[in-house]
Amino acid sequence: MKRISTIIILVIYTFSCSDKEVKNKSCFSKTNYEIIHNYIQNEIEIEKLSYYTDNDYYIYLIDKNEIVINKKNSMIGKIIRDKGIISVAKNKSDNERLIIEMNNLFCELTSKIRLEKE
């Protein structure tokens, strides 16, 4: 009976979360940062390029602690190991949109890398 109650609560909780809430959750961590940084560094070395591409994004490694994200030849933000995802937008609505966009990219890369390792 306890097990069924737990399952029901989990199902209700899962369905009560909107897509927006799930998409806005950050998967940033220092561990994930290092996984992504090492993966991109390896890909850059293999391809002999100065950047890594993922769809419309150009990802540059500045140093061990900073990743720069460009889209359509414009910098949209940075991912800093000790601070997280930072937008370069000037107004608040663009800032929030770009942080969500870069967070989604970060999460997708993390998932992609983990799947490739399996």
Residue 67 placed within a domain? yes
Q: How far apart are alpha carbons 54 and 36 in whole angstroms?
A: 12
| Residue 111 lies inside a defined structural domain of this protein | yes
Cα maximum dimension of the chain: 59
Q: Tell whether 9 is covered by a domain.
A: no
Q: Which domain holds residue 62?
A: 25-117
With respect to residue 5, please indicate whether it lies within any of the assigned structural domains.
Answer: no
- 78 domain-assigned: yes
The domain total for the chain is: 1
Average pLDDT score over residue span 1-13:
45
Q: Is the pLDDT at 58 greater than 50, yes or no?
A: yes
Establish if 65 belongs to a structural domain.
yes
* Banded model confidence at residue 117, pLDDT cuts 50, 70, 90: confident
β-partners of residue 75 are 70
Q: Following DSSP, what letter does each residue of the chain receive, concatenated?
A: -HHHHHHHHHHHHHHHS-HHHHHHS----HHHHHHHHHHHHHHHHHHT-SSEEETTEEEEEEETTEEEEEETTEEEEEEETTTEEEE--SSHHHHHHHHHHHHHHHHHHHHHHHHHH-
- On the question of pLDDT at 54 being above 50, the answer is yes
Please check whether residue 108 lies inside any domain of the structure: yes
pTM surpassing 0.85?
no
Q: What is the pLDDT of residue 89?
A: 93
Question: Residue 57: its pLDDT value, please?
Answer: 97
pLDDT of residue 1 exceeding 70: no
Question: In DSSP terms, which residues pair with 54 in a beta bridge?
Answer: 57
- State the pLDDT at residue 22: 40
Of 24-28, 59-63, 86-90, where does mean pLDDT reach its minimum?
A: 24-28
4 is a domain residue:
no
Task: Specify the pLDDT at position 24.
Answer: 56
> pLDDT-derived band of residue 85, with 50, 70 and 90 as boundaries?
very high
**pLDDT confidence band for 32 (50 / 70 / 90):** very high
